[in-house]
Amino acid sequence: MTYKEHLIFVASQRDAGGCFWLPMASVCWSDGIRKHVFSLKGRPQDRFVLLTDAENSAISIAHKWVDDHSQNGSSG
């Protein structure tokens, strides 16, 4: 998905015990010819029974990261 000129890839994964889904995402952007990737994950307590809930959380985390870094005029 694209959000404010950043690509967001959601890649939620199972926890070590295989019981819960952990929200994880990558944010990709470029500034001219340089390309950047930043990986994000939820807090340790962010665990979900349903994959869709983990994915929605990962999207929210990525949107917040982009918003926080775009305000500074740079995503780096």
Residue 7 has pLDDT above 60, yes or no: yes
The answer to whether residue 4 scores a pLDDT higher than 90 is yes
Q: Which residues of 16-33 are buried (b: 16+ CB within 10 A; e: fewer)?
A: eeeebbbbbbebebeeee
In sequence order, the 6+-apart residues with CB closer than 8 A to the CB of 69 are 75, 76
What is this structure's pTM?
Answer: 0.85
Q: Note the pLDDT tens digit of each residue in 17-73.
A: 889 999 999 999 998 899 999 999 998 889 999 999 999 999 999 999 999 987 655
pLDDT of residue 18: 87
Contact between 29 and 7 (Cβ < 8 Å): yes
Residue 76 has pLDDT above 80, yes or no: no
Structure token digits, residue 32? 């001219």
